[in-house]
Amino acid sequence: MVKLTKTKGEIIQKSNELAIEYEAKYKGCGECTFLAVIDALRWGGLEIIPKGMQDRLFSGVCVTTAGIGLICDGNCGAVASGALAIGLALGIHGGPQGGPLYLMNLQKGFATVRNTLVNRCYQKYNSILCTAIQRKWFGKAWDLTRDDMNMEFLGITHGCAIMEITMWTTEIILDEFEKGNVKGYVGSPHVKP
């Protein structure tokens, strides 16, 4: 059984600190959110995926940035990566795809993401779309496929919604952990098979 090595508050705060650090280094909302959540949880004693898998998933989450591939018309990359981290933490499984246990776990996963992360975004931003979040945060939206606009945005962003969504996601996963819905990665030094 996993036992956290830090308090819930400390882990959430660490996710915020890492989000700031990673945003300065990587820039993209998708990868910054994902890495900050996974690394803060691991720092606090809850490893939900192995480091090698994290490194491999990094390539995929990079392209979720700014509404998928910088088009800004899609879901915020921080929201997409937060949902991915929640799904990984919940470890949706239960037999062959299409089986009743699988479908039940899948529905619980959908409900968790929808009723927590997505609801918070709608309450704060009235949307999960990149352009809507930009407009709410900055009063305008950019076309980040244009180099000049991308550079302008990166010069003022200071994380946009990255830190907030990172902390929400970390808190949601820790809440699910407290409910017994997150077991941790078997193979982690914190989890015994």
The larger pLDDT score, comparing residue 39 to residue 184, is at 39
Are 181 and 90 in contact by the 8 Å Cβ rule? The answer is yes
**Percent of the residues in the chain that have a pLDDT greater than 90, as a whole number:** 47
Identify the weakest region by mean pLDDT among 43-47, 141-145, 151-155, 177-181: 151-155
Distance from C-alpha of 83 to C-alpha of 74, rounded to nearest angstrom = 14
Name residue 186's beta-bridge partners.
188
**Helix (H), strand (E) counts: the chain:** 9, 0
Q: Mean of the pLDDT values across residues 133-151?
A: 83
Closest CA to 161 of 34, 33, 22: 33
Give the contacts of 152 (CB within 8 A, at least 6 positions apart): 142
Query: Structure pTM?
Result: 0.89
For 68, the token pair is 């998928």
For 116, the token pair is 């927590």
Neighbours of 72 (CB within 10 A): 24
Name residue 75's beta-bridge partners.
129
